[in-house]
Structure formats: C-alpha cells, structure tokens
Amino acid sequence: MSDNTMEGGQAIIRCLENEGVEHIFGYSGGAAIPIFDALVTTETKIKFILVRHEQGAVHMADGYARATGKPAVVLVTSGPGATNTLTGIMTAHMDSVPMIVITGQSVSWMLGKDAFQEADIFGITMPVVKHSYLVKKGNDIPRIVREAFHIATTGRPGPVLIDVPKDISAGPCTADLHAEMDLPGYRLIEGVDNDIILQIAEALSKSKRPLILAGHGAMISGADASLKAFAEKARIPVTNTLLGKGVFPETHELALGMLGMHGTAYANKAICECDLLLNIGSRFDDRILGKPEQFCKNATIIHIDIDAAEVGKMIQPQIACVADAKTAIDELAKHVPSLETAAWCRHLDGYKTKHPLKFKRQGSLKMQHIIDEFYKLSEGKACVATDVGQHQMWAAQFYKNDSRYNWLSSGGAGTMGFGLPACIGAAFARPDDLHVCFVGDGGFQMTFFELATAALHKLPIKIVVLNNHYLGMVRQWQELFYEDRTSGVDLEGNPDFVKLAESFGVKGFNLRRPGDVKRVLGSALSYNDGPCLINCEVEKTDNVFPMIPAGAAIEDMLIDPPTRKLEKPTGST
C-alpha cells in the first residue's frame, strides 16, 4: 500500500472517530480481525469494551444511547457472532434507539456459498433495522459510515447495520474520510404546518378536561423543557408512557404518572374522562390502548408524531400533526393561553388521594418496598435500568423520574436480559452518576455473565435482584386468568446469587426481611469499589396492580385483586 492508503478497517475506525464515538461494545472473531487490528494500528482514543456475549454488547450500546441520546456502536464478527446481536437490535428498533452495528462477514467471493461462519445478517435483520449496508468497495466505507450515523440519529431514530466482508476491511481504502452522503430518497420532516397548529390550539381552547400524553418521541426530540413550560402555561395534566418516564417530571403537581396496563389508577381514569387527548410522541401501542374501539371514545384525539406511519395505525385522530415533538410544542405554546382547568385538576387530585399506589410493609418482603426505599435513599437521582416483568412495572410505579435519560427499559420488545447490560452501558456513558438496575431472577440469569464486564471495569453499579423464584408476570396471568394452573414458571434451581456475584469479584448482599431494607440498601449505596449485587428474597406470589387485562377496555381496570373469576384475556401478555 502507498503512504496515502489505509486498510478498510482503519478507515472504519477513523470514520467512527469523526462521528465522535468514544466507546465500542463488542466481541471479536475471525471475520472482523482487520477492524479489531485497526483499533491498535490507528492509535485511536476510542475505548473498546470486550463483553461476554454479543447480545450483551448490543444491550450495553442501547443503554449507552438511552442514557445520553447519542448513538452507540457495536462491533462483532460474522455468523453466530452477528446473529447473537439480533435480539438486541430488535429491542433497539422497537424503541427507536440510535445505534450502529458493525458486523464482520465472510470474504466477498464466498458470499452465498455457505462459507465458515457465514450468515446473511443483512437479510436476517431486515425487519428490525432502520437501514442496512453490505460494504462492497473499500472506498465506500467513509460514505456509508457517515450515512449510517445520519440515518440512525435523524427523524425517528433506530439501529443501522453495516456488514463488512473481511477482504474489504483488510483491503485498501483511498477515499476521503469526510465523503459526501448520497441519500436521494431519505427525506426529513422540517418545520410544522401552522394551519394544523392553529387547529390544535382552537381545539384546546374549547376543552374543559384536556390531557397530555407524553411518549418516547417527546424524549427523543429533547422536548422536556418545552413540554414542562407548555403544560404549566396551559395548566394541562400530563400522563406518560413507560418509555416517556422523565420527559415530564413525575413529581410535578400536574403529573399523573404512567398510564396503561399497569399504570396509575388516576392516569387511566383521566384517559377515560378527558374530553381532549393531546398525544405527543407516543405510538398508541397496545399496552396503553386496552380496547382500541373504546379508547377515549368521548374525546377529541390529537396526535403529534414525527413518523407519519404511526398516525392512524392504531387510533384515528381527529387532528394529526406530523412533526418533531419539540418543534410542534414550541409553536403550539405561542397560541395557547392558560386554560380553565382548575376543576379538572382538582377532580384528578381527588383520584390521586382515593387511589394511591400502595403496598403493605408488614409480612414478607415486597419488591415495591425495596424499590420505594431505594428511590428515597437515592433521592430519585439514579439512572434506572430494568429488566422485564413484575419488577419492571413496580419500578415504573414507585421510582419516579424527574429528568430524561434516567429511565432505561425495554418497552416494545419486552426483552428479558436487558437490564444488567443496559445499566453497564449507561455507566460507561455517565461514569459520575449513580446507576442501578432492578432485575428479576429470570431475566438476570439470561445475561448475568456480563458481571465480568462490570467487575473488570470496576463500575460502581447497584444490581438489585428481586428474586421471587418465579417468572412472576406469567405466573400472575396464570393465577388470574388460568385458574392458577402454573406451567413453565417455577425457577426452582436458582443459584445462590451472592456466591455467583462473588465468583466474579462482585460484592454481594442478601436481603430477606422488611426491617433490613434501609440498612442493606444503605450499605450497597455506600459501596463504590466496583459493582455490588443485592439478592432480595421477596414474596413469591405477589401481583401487580392496577391492571388492565389485555384486550379489555381501560374502564375495566382492576385497582385491587379481583374477587371474581376473570375471563381469559384476548390480547397479548
């Protein structure tokens, strides 16, 4: 090679530097060796984080991106290395998380010939990425990397795959590393239709019981300050989705907390009784709709979303505005005065008093008690990652978020095993902040091997294993809807999680009694010489309420355990 030529792998690393990348999460392998070699030969400042499984790498990148709003990068090898990323890519895709996944691939002339560790990752991931690239020429690398970051981070964000054959990453690249993009079919939404904004403002002016639904799209757009100012000016109560936690302060007097299947009773009652719903950045997913045909049937529905494909997909709004959430809110605020909502707000405050989130501190140890106490001890300042299941819903209920980027949870995909690696990724992104992951014993065992990654880097994360020896959410459904016929949910054979943690060099605590909660959690919070794990032996058969059975209307919400036999749900779990 001449002095002006670099290898394709080196070009990739240089281009990642140009995009401001500081960390790469991944696992090495033969087809990706030239790219890994470039991490050494280019003398880059990018820090590579070696994980213990490719799924862990993608979830770490996911946590990194959610905790910062910036795109994260994954680097793995071909075949099973690439396919092991699939669950993480789907998780990011469902929740609109910006991410670049770079996969090594068999040499170009062997593609489609069943070469060693060959997999058509381009085709396999097609349904769960925002865009895909198979690099065919070394000189295409700078353009592709730049386009990938642009696509991943603009409009509705999402993961982008770059598949790099080994001969391309080992071969020459002489192209300008600041190459121009070539995306003739990629159009971004710019500005907002003022006529539609005026329609929304007029509808709001006529409303006596307005309600704002703040979704993840509002979070992504950085609309938190604008949303708070608008809600306070117009005096409109705000409810949020699971992934919208923190975009509006949940301790605010206008906040109703999370709505939906396991949302607060007062948020769900507000949905049933409002005369206008202003949805900002939520895709109206099935977890919040109940029965779509009965959702807000007596209300004017307004939907603001940057993705036109989401408008009318689940709910047909009376007014639709395809725009960036922050742009739309800022413009709308110019036209909406303070509304006469005092009576409406007092009415909802009455529901807060009548139907508060609650649990019994007596008797066996409760997940809610642990989460609530951690919230108090941490003063609500932690960046919280969760796994999926009962503990996730209780964490959403009892750990209130007052700022964006502090809630990391798998929403659309509901991915067990997400919590621990996502927490690790967030800790790399924000090393000076407090990080905790609430995980169930089921999900934790899917990715607990990443304890090694946390221990190696001495990340002072707090791992709270809420151990009920069951797949608790499925067991709850079986109890309520299947006459308590438990099947495939008993996690008999769980390891001793403290000894497991200690085998990785992680400090372990056991928590078994309600009276010890404050003391043990306080000790864990005081421990900062690396990660620590708290094994919490909680009540085995506690259930999450409020609850809207899948497929039932929001009006059919169960605030307390039912006293009657329930019909099998028609919707998904």
Query: Directed axis angle between helix 224-234 and helix 325-333, to 10°?
Result: 30
Q: Which residues lie below 8 Å from residue 70, measured CB to CB, with a gap of 6+?
A: 20, 64, 98, 429
Q: Which residues lie below 8 Å from residue 3, measured CB to CB, with a gap of 6+?
A: none
Instruction: Check if 166 is active-site.
Output: yes
Instruction: Give me the catalytic one of 7, 60, 166, 428.
Output: 166
Dihedrals phi, psi of 382, to nearest 5 degrees:
-75, 150
Residue with tokens 């009962």: 390
Q: What is the side-by-side order of every strand in the sheet holding 131-134?
A: 47-50, 23-26, 72-76, 99-105, 159-165, 131-134
CB 458 within 8 A of CB 530: yes
Instruction: Give me the catalytic one of 10, 25, 36, 54.
Output: 54
Query: Directed axis angle between helix 390-398 and helix 367-377, to 10°?
Result: 40
Give the Cα separation of 112 and 297 in Å (integer). 53
C-alpha R_g of the chain: 24
Cα–chain-centroid distance for residue 558? Answer: 26
Dihedrals phi, psi of 369, to nearest 5 degrees:
-60, -45
Instruction: Give me the catalytic one of 473, 507, 537, 547.
Output: 473
| Cβ-based burial of 338 (10 A; exposed 0-12, middle 13-18, buried ≥19) | exposed
Give the Cα separation of 133 and 102 in Å (integer). 10
Instruction: Check if 295 is active-site.
Output: no
Instruction: Give me the catalytic one of 116, 360, 458, 483.
Output: 116
Identity of the amino acid at 543 = N
Q: Point out which residues pair with 466 in neighbouring strands.
A: 440, 536
Instruction: Pick the closest to residue 472 from 400, 550, 573, 398 (CA basis).
Output: 573
Instruction: Give me the catalytic one of 22, 70, 117, 449.
Output: 117
Q: How far apart are the first and last CA of the chain?
A: 58
Give the Cα separation of 344 and 464 in Å (integer). 39
Instruction: Pick the closest to residue 437 from 379, 391, 404, 499 (CA basis).
Output: 391
Instruction: Check if 116 is active-site.
Output: yes
Q: What angle do CA 90, 150, 123 make, to 5 degrees?
A: 40
Instruction: Check if 54 is active-site.
Output: yes
Neighbours of 212 (CB within 10 A): 26
Give the Cα separation of 393 and 401 in Å (integer). 14
Identity of the amino acid at 271 = I
CB 401 within 8 A of CB 407: yes
Residue 299 carries which DSSP code? S
Instruction: Check if 397 is active-site.
Output: no
Residues involved in catalysis: 54, 116-117, 166, 473
